[in-house]
Amino acid sequence: MKLSDDEDEIGTASGSGSPWEHTPNIGHQDEQYIIFRIKMFVHEFWVRDYANKHSPAFVRFARNFTKELEQFFDSPVGDDEPLPGSRRATVIGIEPSKEDSMLILVTSDLGSKAYADGSKIKSRLRRHLPESNRLGSFAVKIDAAHPLTVQQFTDCLTGEFMCDVSRCIPINKKCDGYADCNDKTDEETDCPTRRK
């Protein structure tokens, strides 16, 4: 199933310069925008309309689910305060569980604006969802066979090296004799001894 047309664009916000560069965090501290892809199993009957993002069933589910996901960060959960900044969630896809017709796998993207502490966003999900098995009005299922996954798109991809000043470069640009990172960390960190 093709999940999303905009999938290719995530995490590839191009900076100035070569097409292979991308900047993990965009803008100033208070303008920072980070994106997470979140997958979790939800107790819901699978209906075939969920395969179509434009079906009324998908749209209705997505509207309720994104509202609860945003609310999860905007209101207190347990002893955790609401997070500052604002978040916008999108449901990317809904898939049937292979072994249980009353379980669906929901993939969603969460964009966080003006709050760039990705580890707090991840830990909030990983701590509270398995504890309560609830996301607002949704019953979720999280266990070894049904893991909750949270991936931050601003991490560098496999095969890339992260400069100290947030920026990702292809791994083959590391130690190639040319400074590709603004801070030159690609030529100064763990390179075999050589004079540039």
| Chain residues in the site for Ca ion (CB under 5 A) | 173, 176, 178, 180, 186
Q: Output 17 or 76, the one with its CB closest to Ca ion.
A: 17
What is the nearest approach in angstroms of Ca ion to the Cβ of residue 158? 18
Q: DSSP secondary-structure letter at 192?
A: P
How far apart, in Å, are the Cα atoms of 17 and each of 41, 45, 171? 40, 48, 17
Q: Output 109 or 186, the one with its CB closest to Ca ion.
A: 186
DSSP character string of 150-188: EEETTSPPTTEEEETTTEEEEGGGTTSSS--STT-HHHH
Nearest position to Ca ion, beta carbon:
180
What is the nearest approach in angstroms of Ca ion to the Cβ of residue 156? 15
Taking the C-alpha atoms of residue 115 and residue 33, their distance in angstroms, rounded to an integer, is 7
What is the nearest approach in angstroms of Ca ion to the Cβ of residue 109? 32
Q: Output 6 or 176, the one with its CB closest to Ca ion.
A: 176
Q: Number of helices and strands (H, E) in the chain?
A: 3, 8
What is the nearest approach in angstroms of Ca ion to the Cβ of residue 11? 21
Count the neighbouring beta carbons within 10 Å of the beta carbon of residue 140.
Answer: 20
Q: Output 9 or 176, the one with its CB closest to Ca ion.
A: 176
